[in-house]
Amino acid sequence: MNPMLWGVGTSDYGLQPGTRVEVLCWTAIREAVDDAGITPAEIDAIIVGSVFGPPGVATRVQRGLGLPGVPMWTVENACASGTSAYHEAVQAVRQGRFGCVLVLGVDQMSTLFSGAIVPEATDPEGAASLPLPGLYALQAQRYVQEFGVTPEQLAAVAVKNKRNGLDNPRAQLRKAAPTVEEVLASRMIAEPLTFLQCCPTSDGAGAVIVGGERGNPADLRIEASAMVSGALWDHRSQDVWGYASVARAAEQAYAQAGRTPGEIDVLEVHDAFTIGEILTLEALGLAPRGKGAELAPSGHTARDGAQPVNPSGGLLSRGHPLGGTGTAQIAEIACQLRGRAGDRQVARHRVGLVETMGGGAAGMDGNACVVTILSVP
């Protein structure tokens, strides 16, 4: 059975410690069910992606939906948890196991962390007090030394995405878009990454309905969904941390879809830090090695550019509730491809791509990476 995307929905994204995590989920699910034009009773299975969700959160969501007995399970794959759950749903529909699957991604970070996620103490990074901002900063430092990437090029990614976020009513950060100078003048977090080059701690949920072909003109074709786990990574690895995982997932997705990078109209990628977007776009094939930093300053990835990237504002503006991030990315691409993105709508919107990379386990090239390609039938 050919899998199709039937519907999407999200909650607002931001600091919402007083809102129960199930309520965040129900808001997103209600939107997705309405968008798909179905009733909850038509859902055959539920797959939840979450990293820090409280034990039993999926069951409480299921209870609130009034769907006891429907097969349901939870996936944890770091930042790629939501898209990993989506990938499992796509495969389940393709194999004919289920006809309609609800995918839910959710995390409530504000009740757990006031800043960067605390690394696992038993890992070398944890023992060295090296959280993810430091790991991404090491990527940036290597690119500065090896390819001459400038602070201004890094800052241009933040300027672009924060400007896009102004038109996203669901985004956490919607203040006036900063200039390059303001980005660079903000507080240093992990050199060369400043405060405005780091995504905020967030709460939020996203939902996606995946099913088979049903003749609905609003449904989107899922041309490809590829998921890879991180390979071993240490001082002998030629690429910076995370690069190879994204490249392997992208290669598989392009092969499944029969497409090249140049055929992608609009992208939502994992920009937890500005260097993350630059490296990801190189791994996806939008730029040669060492040239990804030129895409934002040149306007290529601007909302009115040749290949807009993160028209939603990305993680840098929308926020990053880990499990809820991948499903939010899919929801944005669905809105773009359907021409329903309002003030942030891009001009070319026939083919879209989502990439989410989860990292954290020491000695591995990330936990997992998912790349999916969607298109208008």
Residues 295, 309 contacting (CB under 8 angstroms):
yes
Which residue shows structure tokens 């409480």? 60
CA dist., res. 261 & res. 89, Å (int): 25
Phi, psi at residue 210, to the nearest 5°? -115, 130
CA dist., res. 71 & res. 208, Å (int): 16
How many C-beta atoms surround the C-beta of residue 357 within 10 A?
30
Q: Closest by alpha carbon to 318, among 14, 5, 84?
A: 14
Catalytic residue among 25, 87, 198, 320: 320
Cis peptide before 192 (omega within 30 of 0): yes
Which residue shows structure tokens 């786990």? 229
Residues 356, 227 contacting (CB under 8 angstroms):
no
Task: Clarify whether 79 is annotated catalytic.
Answer: yes
Q: What is the C-alpha R_g of the chain?
A: 19
Catalytic residue among 25, 79, 100, 369: 79
Which residue shows structure tokens 């990330």? 366
Task: Clarify whether 235 is annotated catalytic.
Answer: no
Active site residues: 79, 320
